[in-house]
Amino acid sequence: MNPRAEWLLAIRLRQLGDVLAALATLRSLKAHRPERRIAYVVEAPYAELMRAFDFIDMLLSPPRRGTGAWREFYASLRRLHASAAIDFHGSARSALMACASGAPVRVGFDVRGRRIAYTRVVPRGEFRDGVRVPHTPIEWGMRLAAHVGAAPTEALPPRLAVSDEARARTTDALSAQGIARSDIDARALVGLNPGRPAAVKSWGTTRFVALARRIAESGRRALVLWGPGEEETARAIVRDAGGAAVLAPATPLAGMPALLDACAALVTIDSGLKHLAVCVRVPTVTVFGATDPREWHMGGPVDAVLWRGLSCSPCRRTACPFGAPCLDVPVDVVWAATQRVLGALGREAHA
């Protein structure tokens, strides 16, 4: 490392949507002072994705185990001699990392038991007349960055470019799944992301099956995406759709941008994959339930939001005693939104 370089340390360990949201702030920080280098601490599964962003100068990942490995990790933080550290995460572990870096300016959220690690704090939430004011993680990130001189200039996560090589690999993988190359070239695929079978976020497999059939009737193909712990749900949708849907190939997180890029649009629940699709600039239709789209949408003008906005929403519960009526969004409504995204809005407008 150049001993004369000034470094800024940024920490957002996990949760894909939040890791991506912090990028908007980091890009603003780099634009504000291009000569300052940025080191971003994320857990290893996200590091490969982050390599695509040229405003990040160094990626650091905490070790999974081992006293010696942790000792070396903290030593690497100290060797940066960072002028400032921003803790986007707000956990006990990330607060310790910010403090251990030795940065003279350490910014984080005002959370009991952790604020002692920072020299400057930002409230974790904003309330007006006793009601929480919704802000996206990007907006909160900009508030943190204001303490190191950045102006709030970003509304969307930065665009993640997909290389021709990655597109070619994805085309081969999709062809192996039985999808015609002509459909891939024509962008006739519509991605479906059912996610994990969690009651407060799941739109329901039967609805995804019905939507897949609508997509097939329109002359397109439904591609059911899945990640760790989601394959069984994805396979059930493909099976019950009776040929109207195809299962996406097993794909590591670093390969997901190219897989999303092969789709004309993505119909999804609120999830990390939805935020990744926004970064790739694939139009999205998102069914929100227990979470608030005013906080967690972070999309552009061609990204559709479907939210019933019931009196009990958002609740942020992990289980609902009422059967999650907030997610009772009819297939007709989702299909209409999908048609609008595919037709009137167009992909180029998402740039």
Complete domains list, the chain, with CATH = 7-148 (3.40.50.2000), 164-350 (3.40.50.2000)
Question: Is the distance from CB of 7 to CB of 82 less than 8 angstroms?
Answer: yes
Give backbone dihedrals phi and psi of 288, rounded to 5 degrees, phi first. -100, 150
User: Residue 349: what pLDDT?
Assistant: 38
Mean pLDDT of 200-206: 89
Residue 3 has pLDDT above 70, yes or no: no
The structure tokens 């952790």 sit at: 114
pLDDT digits (tens, 9 = 90+) for 138-165: 999 999 999 998 776 667 899 999 999 9
pLDDT at 150: 77
Q: Does pLDDT of 350 surpass 60?
A: no
Among candidate residues 123, 155, 158, the one with its CA nearest the CA of residue 139: 155
Beta bridge partners of 105: 84
Give pLDDT, residue 351.
39
pTM: 0.93
303 backbone dihedrals φ, ψ, rounded to 5°: -100, 120
Tokens coding 186: 């024509």
Residue type, 227: G
Q: What is the DSSP letter of 224?
A: E
Report yes or no: 47 and 77 within 8 Å, Cβ to Cβ: no
What pLDDT, in 10s, does the model give residues 241-256? 999 999 999 999 999 9
For residue 348, pLDDT beyond 50: no
